[in-house]
Every structure is written in structure tokens, then in C-alpha cells.
Amino acid sequence: MNSLLGWLDQRTGYKAIVKHALYENVPGGARWRYVWGSTLTFCLAIQFITGIFLWMAYSPSSQTAWESVYYIQNEMMGGWFLRGLHHYTAQAMNVLLVLHLMQVVIDGAYKAPREINFWFGLGLLMLVMGLSLTGYLLPWDQKGYWATKVATSIAAITPVFGAEVQKLIIGGSDYGHHTLTRFFALHAGVLPASIIALLVGHIYLFRRHGLKAKEPRMRPDAAFWPDQVLKDAVACLAVLAAVLFLVIRTHGAELTAPADPSEPYSAARPEWYFLFLFQFLKYFPGGTEIWGAIIIPTVVMLVVFAMPFFGNWKLGHRFNLGLMWSLLAGAGLLTWLAIAEDGRNPDYLAGVKAGHIEAERVKELAQSPAGISQLGAVNLLRTDPLTQGPKLFAKNCASCHRYDGHDGLGNVPKDAQSAADLKGFAGRPWLAGLLDPAKVGSTNYFGGTKFRDGKMVKFVKKDIAGFSAEEQAQLKKVIAAISAEAELKSQRTSDVVDAAVIAEGRALAAGDSMRCTECHQFRRKDDDASAPDLTGYGSREWLISILSDPAHDRFYGKRNDRMPAFGKDEVLDAQSIGLLADWLRGDWYEAR
């Protein structure tokens, strides 16, 4: 073994390198305050290792980025852990960078002859921020997409070449495949390579000038190995423990719904360590953003770069210390303000909540038997009645109608309810309510409409109220029959079980005794019918037709109250009307 190592040493001189690396002098002995550089190198190593493994499963294009990250997160063995490790180590790095920088400034390690190394360090800081920014977009989820849009839009306000700069960054005039290929090349290629180059210089210069000891020195000088190495290792272990705690507690990093330029995301925020910049921008009125986004940050960075020169002045070091503490306090304050403002902002909070719900829902859909098609996962939510139905209802229906008392999304609209509550529409309980003398005149049925004193309400209040027990039993059968026309998913079993009752009810409804066909048509063409068609009542086709044109002869005709013709007047497209119909019918994919 020894001869083999000797052979190797002769050819490489590795022993001298190892000795040089391990037996570097630590003036005043090992101290905890010297660990920050090592923890950063350690984090960088974690990012390289986990990053390369993630790379093996990641696919940068707008139809595969979210999908491949979803696959890593939910399908691949230990993928969530690997991704979580990468995500939280990135956050740890930002904290450690600040600690390292503060320690260097406090100890005066930026002063001559260490100026250049200080600049290398600042360069590394900016490269790591670049990695955070580019990495945030790569999952191509709503959160990263909208947050990064803000960042790249800021690039557009650069004087003179703004538009060109932005175009170059995002690889075109709009976000797309090339935004991802560019961001990925930066994130996994250009920036890491630049970091290695700067880090080599950083460590070389650090070794050349030696450690800047904190005075007074408590103990005699010692070698780097083993005391300082152990302290460094323990610090790295502590960082790792903190990261692992976060990874396990949150089951890895969050993946929100796939990026969709047509869907709002009011919870779009940059990562927490960029929040101070985000907040800062709020104080610059329109037209002056350039001050907050570019000029002031650049000036601050230039001042920090010039700190080694100030350090030579009499009170320079104190100035530098004061500057760093104020910057830190300012950034801290801005971050706190941003978080506090968001905490009071109902739009933001609703956005976060909706974001979580959509993230869970898209996962459910991706795991459904249909899976993710070539159109990508973004199509899963776009074509999902459970996701789109409530939004469409809130926007188009809830100014008059209600859904279980709210607007579909859980909010109570400002306008008073003036049309039926459509939760459970065409189901047996809903129809039973409509035919209940005590309920038909309430706002949940006709109470808010111009039909409140119409024939139907009168019929229910007068005639049905006077029904004998036998007639009441017949009415129940009619309800079952009319409800069965809808072929609702929720009544699939009872429709089969009650087939005989339904058949009876159908005959009753079509006959004269129940008087339905005096106004409605049911399973037979009747040109004199003046009320909505009961044939296929509440079925998908029926709902789509009434949504498209309620004033059609088949429905309310000229007597239509205020309901818009969503299809005929092209208020909504066919897909949206279909989604609304499916949602009202409770027809969407459910995981078992």
C-alpha cells in the first residue's frame, strides 16, 4: 500500500497538497466563528450532487418541466427527499452567505491585502442569488412562473436596451420552451461553472493571505487539521440537520399547479430571501421603478464593493460595520413588512389557499387512469370541472344564483341572491324542495325571480299543498322520475335500484293527473309548452342547452327572466359551458 501511495506521490505530489490543505496554520487556534466558509462549500457540494441527480430526471420544456418535476416528486423513489434537499439547502446557503459576509466584515477580513478576495466573495454571493432566481422557475409551476415573470419584467426597465435584454433572458417575446432551456443552462451550466472558477480563486487567495484572526487570540496557533476540521464538520452537520428537518417536515419542496398564463395566481411571491427587494419596489410609484429595481440596488452593491477602500480611513471600519448592519436591518424590516402585509391581504391568503387546493387536485388528476397526455399537465386543470366550475360560476352566475349559499368559491357575493341555489340541481332533494309549498317561494328557488308569483309557484303552494297522502306518494315517484332524467353520478345507484318507481313516476308525469304536461313537455313534443322541457331535465345536454340559450322555446322562451344566453351570445365558449354543466352535475374525476 505504502509503495503504491509512494508511486502515486512521485507522479502527482499529492502528499504535499494534502499537507498544505490540512496543516494550514489557524492563528489563535480553532474557533467556531471560522466555520462559515466551510459550511458554504459544503452546501455547494450538496447542491452539485443533488443537482446532478435531479438533472437526470428533469426535462426543460414548457410541456415537460412541471411534468418531470411532478414525476420526481411523486413517482420516483425518494425523489421528494432529493428535491427537498436541493430546495432547502439553497435556502440555507442564502442564510449562510449573509453570516459569512457579516463575519468577514466584523473581523475586518475585507481590508488590505484581502480586497480582491472580498470581491470574489461578493461575486460568489451574486452568482448564488442568480442560481436561486433561475432555479425557482425550473419546476414551471404557478408560483415560480409568476414570481419569475416579475423579475424578468424588471429587466425590461433597464434603460436603452431593456426590451432586448428581456428578450434575450427569456429567449423570445414570451415565456416558453426557450425560457426554460436558457434558465436551465444558466442554472446547471454557466452559473455553477462560474462559481467553481470564483471559488478556486477565493480559496487560493484565502490560503495565500491566511486566516484573519480575531483578536485577541485566546490560544496558541494550531493546524487546520483536526481541530478546525472537526468544528467545520460539526457545523456542516448542524446545517444538514436543519435542512433535513425542513425537508421531512414539509415532505420536500412544494410544487404548485402547472404554469398557466391564463390563470391568475395572486400568491405569486419570490422566495423569502428576495422578499425585501419585492417589498422595496412597492414604494416606487409608476415611472420611478427603475430607482427601486436597478439604480438603488446597484449603488448599494457598488458601495459594498468599495468597502475595502473605506476600511483604510480612520473611521472607515466603523462606517462599514454600520453600513452592513443597517443594510441587514433594512432588508430584515422590508422582509417583515412584506410578510405582515401579505398576512393581512385577503387576496393573497385566498391565493395561497387556492394554490394549495389546485396543487393537490392536479396531483390527483395526474395519478388518475387517464394520466398526463401529450398536451401536458396544464390541460388537466383546464379541463377539470371541479377546478373550473366554481370559478366560472363565481364569475358568470353568482351575481344572481348561489351554490350552497355562496358563489362556488366559498365567498358570499355582494349582490343579493335573486335566483335559485343550484347546489344539487336536478337531484331528488333539490326537486323535492322545488315542489315543497314552504320552499318554492324562497330565494333558493323562485323567490328572487320574476316567477315568484308565477304559475309554478302558485301550483305548488295551492295544489300540491292540498295533495292527499296518496298524491304525495305519487309526487315522490314523479320526483324520482324527473330526477332520473339528469342521470346524475351521485344517483347512479338509486336510479338503478328504483327503476320500477321511476317507470311509474314517468308515466305519472306524462299523464294528466299530476298536471306537469299542462305547461311542460315531457318525452313528447308539445309546441304549446310554455315552461322548461322536462325531457332530459338536468342532463348534460339539457344544461348545456339552457346555459347556451335560456330564451329558446324549449326553455323559458320570451318569458326568460334575466339569464344571459352564454352560448348564443358567445359570453362563454363551448368548453367552459360544458365544464360548468359538468360541475353543476357533480360530474368530475374522483380519486378512490
Partner 1 sequence: MAEQDDESQSGRRDFLLKAAAVGIGAVTTLVPAGAGLVTLLDPLRHKARAGTFLRVATLNALPEDGTPRQYPVVSERQDAWNKFPQVRVGAVYLRRTGAKDVQAINVVCPHAGCFVNYQPDQKQYLCPCHNSSFALDGAIKDPSSPSPRPLDTMEVKVSDDGGVWVKFENYRAGVHEKVVAS
Binding interface with partner 1 (CB under 8 A):
42, 45-46, 49-50, 52-53, 56-57, 64, 67-68, 70-72, 75-79, 81-82, 85, 225-227, 229-230, 233-234, 236-237, 240, 244, 366, 370-374, 377
Using the minimum distance from each CB to partner 1, give the nearer residue, 220 or 466: 220
CA atoms within 13 A on the CB side of 280: 20
Least CB distance from residue 224 to partner 1, whole Å?
A: 11
* Residue 120 to residues 184, 203, 213, 215, 503, Cα–Cα distance (Å): 24, 10, 20, 24, 84
Q: Give the residue among 353, 352, 355 at the shortest CA–CA distance from 363.
A: 355
Rounded to a whole number of angstroms, the CA Rg of the chain reads: 34
Using the minimum distance from each CB to partner 1, give the nearer residue, 197 or 370: 370
Distance of alpha carbon 39 from alpha carbon 503, whole angstroms: 76
Using the minimum distance from each CB to partner 1, give the nearer residue, 57 or 165: 57
CB atoms within 10 A of CB 342: 17
Using the minimum distance from each CB to partner 1, give the nearer residue, 59 or 266: 59
Least CB distance from residue 4 to partner 1, whole Å?
A: 21
Least CB distance from residue 57 to partner 1, whole Å?
A: 7
Using the minimum distance from each CB to partner 1, give the nearer residue, 89 or 474: 89
Q: Is the dihedral of CA 95, 126, 81, 150 positive or negative?
A: positive
Least CB distance from residue 375 to partner 1, whole Å?
A: 10
Least CB distance from residue 378 to partner 1, whole Å?
A: 13
Least CB distance from residue 83 to partner 1, whole Å?
A: 9
DSSP string for residues in 229-298: HHHHHHHHHHHHHHHHHHHHHTTSS---SBP-TTS--TT----GGGHHHHHHHTTS-TT-HHIIIIIHHH
Least CB distance from residue 350 to partner 1, whole Å?
A: 30
Least CB distance from residue 240 to partner 1, whole Å?
A: 5
Using the minimum distance from each CB to partner 1, give the nearer residue, 75 or 415: 75
SS3 call for 223: strand
Q: Is the dihedral of CA 449, 585, 550, 517 positive or negative?
A: negative
CB atoms within 10 A of CB 69: 24
Instruction: Give the contacts of 218 (CB within 8 A, at least 6 positions apart).
Output: 28, 29, 31
Distance of alpha carbon 258 from alpha carbon 1, whole angstroms: 56
Q: Spell out the alpha helix ranges (H) of 435-588.
A: 455-458, 469-485, 492-497, 499-510, 540-548, 574-584
Least CB distance from residue 576 to partner 1, whole Å?
A: 25
Report the DSSP pairing between strands 25-26 and 222-223. Answer: antiparallel
Distance of alpha carbon 71 from alpha carbon 63, whole angstroms: 13
> What is the distance in angstroms between the CA of the first residue and the CA of the last residue of the chain?
61
236, 46 in Cβ contact below 8 A?
no
Using the minimum distance from each CB to partner 1, give the nearer residue, 203 or 321: 203
Q: Cell digits for 529?
A: 309548452
Least CB distance from residue 49 to partner 1, whole Å?
A: 4
Q: Spell out the alpha helix ranges (H) of 61-114.
A: 65-74, 79-106
b/e code 34-66 from CB counts within 10 Å (16+ = b): bbbbbbbebbbebbeebbebbeeebebbbbbbb
Using the minimum distance from each CB to partner 1, give the nearer residue, 72 or 259: 72
Using the minimum distance from each CB to partner 1, give the nearer residue, 252 or 538: 252
- The helix (H) or strand (E) run that includes residue 222 is strand 222-223
Using the minimum distance from each CB to partner 1, give the nearer residue, 198 or 239: 239
Distance of alpha carbon 124 from alpha carbon 126, whole angstroms: 5
Least CB distance from residue 230 to partner 1, whole Å?
A: 4
Least CB distance from residue 332 to partner 1, whole Å?
A: 29
Distance of alpha carbon 331 from alpha carbon 276, whole angstroms: 5
Using the minimum distance from each CB to partner 1, give the nearer residue, 4 or 56: 56
Least CB distance from residue 365 to partner 1, whole Å?
A: 12
Least CB distance from residue 524 to partner 1, whole Å?
A: 40
Using the minimum distance from each CB to partner 1, give the nearer residue, 83 or 477: 83
Distance of alpha carbon 421 from alpha carbon 471, whole angstroms: 27
Using the minimum distance from each CB to partner 1, give the nearer residue, 59 or 418: 59
Using the minimum distance from each CB to partner 1, give the nearer residue, 246 or 457: 246
